Amino acid sequence: MTDNAAASMPSRTDIAIVGTGYSGLCIAIHLKRAGLHDFVLLEQAPTVGGTWRDNHYPGAACDIASNLYSFSFEPNPNWTRVYPQQPELKAYVEHCVEKYGLTAHLHCNARVVEARFDEAARSWDLALDGARQLTARVLVSATGGLSRPSVPSIEGLSAFAGPVFHSARWQDDTALAGRRVAVIGTGASAIQLVPEIAREVGQLTLFQRTPPWIIPKPDRALSAAERRRLRRHPSWQRMLRGIDYAMREYRAAFFTRWPGVLKVAQARVLRHMHGQVADPALRAQLTPRYVLGCKRILLSNDFYQAIQRPHVRLVTEPIARIAPDGIETADGVLHPADALVFATGFQTDGRVPYPVFGFGGAALADAWAPGPQAYLGTTVAGYPNLFLMTGPNTGLGHNSMIYMIESQARYVMDAIQTMRRAGLRAVNVDPEAQRSFNTELQARMRRTVWATGGCRSWYMAPDGSNPTLWPDFTFRFRRRTRRFDLEHYRSWTAS
Ligand code: NAP
């Protein structure tokens, strides 16, 4: 789905939303439902969809059940599987754009290259590519935490003779059938794509740096009868969603308070791996050496089988360099390859992907030099009327991000409505409120499995803080964001 409004980009709007993934669309839908139509949706790509547009590698799917991976106000009784696959998620997002009349607000191929707060006008001046300018009173940055692929700089990479691409930039027109393919990484993306491409490639070499914990994925197709029941009885679907939410939510206690329980669960997970992998040497290579949950727990029913196929090899020796015809490991062995796939994750520094300048021209990048920090993951002192969706410390290791996104969307909507009611031109969070919120968060982090589990993960900053995850139950985040707490903000009236 592309825009139909490219020709009519206004020079001024009340609210600019940057990004059209789940979080940008959630805000846009809330605005429409509240009868507020003076907003634009800016999307740098030619089509909407965020993560679920970009990640279309073979096997791309969500490891949160479909019923929970949809907006609470827009249930979908037509999911075809318990766990949704990328095409269905993309179709769901496009359905939301259509149903809520967002196309008229949508501007695709509109990349924000700078946002600068105008102190006199108390509004945001946005520079877009193509020398376009847009002024907005409120800026909602909904650019996602996992949108910029990370490709490690490995010696010799530029001289590799064959195709090279990242899992989130899959080249559909590059045929891999029959070829020797090297995949680097064994994270959530790799374990989904490896079993798929293993079906067709001539030879697959998988380079693993850290073995992940993998549990079975209770996935299956949903029958036509089940879908009919969901269509006829929305309350049944709501109940299933509630049960699924609760079943996931209790795990937050293990991640954040009692990581010791996770060590007990490890034995069960290892039994699952042992039941699938007979070779003791391969088992040893696949056995994680950190506490379950320290890195994201992965779900798969076919990864272990895939890597035991005769034409698939798991390599755990560190990569030394890339040769034109393969990958050389530290032991001097050259692993021949015709194509290279980087399943190496994303740039996860939490930054906003365009320069943002607030009060006094202060760069957000400088304010965040020690690490990203916000109030309730949403507002930043010195950057009035800027609202971050999926901002610092809103990520999850145990439940659906859609729940966090909806919590934030309600908070932002209440902020917008409060400003309208009180005739406020701008609001800026009190630095002290932000500081004490983050002190509390980081104190909570200390005993979490992410800090104590003995792994190196993208959740953590180099200084040992965790600017990524919410260290508590998600219903507590919802409670804290249920109303816009103007008392923690400095405000300016419109006059
Ligand atoms: P990831 O989890 O960050 O995994 C990257 C993999 O690449 C890791 O195995 C990492 O090894 C390896 N790697 C990175 N740099 C390397 C290097 N220089 N040499 C060798 N190996 C290297 O990335 P991802 O799999 O794309 O997943 C990212 C996040 O996206 C996930 O954590 C999850 O939040 C999300 N995701 C979700 C789903 C879903 O189903 N909902 C699916 C896919 C992704 P180390 O472990 O040693 O760092």
Confirm whether 247 is domain-assigned.
no
pLDDT in tens, 23-72: 999 999 999 999 999 999 999 999 999 999 999 999 999 999 999 999 99
Nearest CA to ligand 1 atom 33: 188
Q: Of 342, 374, 408, which closes a domain?
A: 342
Cβ pair 311, 199 in contact under 8 A? no
Q: Give the ligand 1 atom nearest the CA of 55.
A: 43
pLDDT exceeds cutoff 90 at 400: yes
Q: Best mutation site among 62, 86, 151, 189 for ligand 1, i.e. most ligand atoms within 8 A of its Cβ?
A: 189
Asked if 437 and 457 sit in the same domain, the reply is yes
CA distance 359 to 122: 10
- Provide the domain limits for residue 273: 157-218+258-342
The predicted pLDDT at position 142 comes to 98
Backbone angles phi, psi at 493, to 5 degrees: -80, 170
Helix then strand count (H, E) for the chain reads 15, 20
Asked if 361 and 403 sit in the same domain, the reply is yes
Q: How far, in Å, from the CA of 435 to the mean position of ligand 1?
A: 31
CA distance 368 to 371: 5
Give yes or no for residue 183 CB within 6 A of ligand 1: no
The predicted pLDDT at position 3 comes to 58
Nearest to 376 by CA among 346, 415, 348, 349: 415
Asked if 320 and 430 sit in the same domain, the reply is no
CA distance 187 to 35: 42
To the nearest whole number, what is the mean pLDDT of the chain? 96
CA distance 381 to 191: 40
CA distance 195 to 217: 14
Counting the structural domains of the chain, the total is 2
pLDDT in tens, 225-242: 999 999 999 999 999 999
CA distance 427 to 429: 7
The predicted pLDDT at position 1 comes to 61
* Residue 323 Cα distances to 158, 173, 335, 337, angstroms: 9, 24, 9, 9
pLDDT in tens, 372-383: 999 999 999 999
pLDDT in tens, 5-24: 445 889 999 999 999 999 99
Q: Best mutation site among 22, 64, 167, 209 for ligand 1, i.e. most ligand atoms within 8 A of its Cβ?
A: 209
Confirm whether 199 is domain-assigned.
yes
Asked if 360 and 478 sit in the same domain, the reply is yes
Asked if 330 and 423 sit in the same domain, the reply is no
| CATH value at residue 331 | 3.50.50.60
Give yes or no for residue 214 CB within 6 A of ligand 1: no
Give yes or no for residue 189 CB within 6 A of ligand 1: yes
- 314-317-322 Cα angle (round to 5): 95
pLDDT exceeds cutoff 90 at 327: yes
Asked if 307 and 165 sit in the same domain, the reply is yes
Confirm whether 237 is domain-assigned.
no
Classify residue 226 by burial, with Cβ atoms within 10 Å: 0-12, 13-18, 19+: middle
Q: pTM for the complete prediction? A: 0.96
Give yes or no for residue 103 CB within 6 A of ligand 1: no
Asked if 362 and 338 sit in the same domain, the reply is no
Cβ pair 182, 207 in contact under 8 A? yes
Q: Of 302, 320, 342, which closes a domain?
A: 342
Q: How far, in Å, from the CA of 224 to the mean position of ligand 1?
A: 35
Confirm whether 65 is domain-assigned.
yes
Q: How far, in Å, from the CA of 270 to the mean position of ligand 1?
A: 21
Give yes or no for residue 299 CB within 6 A of ligand 1: no
Give yes or no for residue 63 CB within 6 A of ligand 1: yes
Cβ pair 139, 115 in contact under 8 A? yes
Asked if 186 and 317 sit in the same domain, the reply is yes
Q: Give the ligand 1 atom nearest the CA of 458.
A: 3
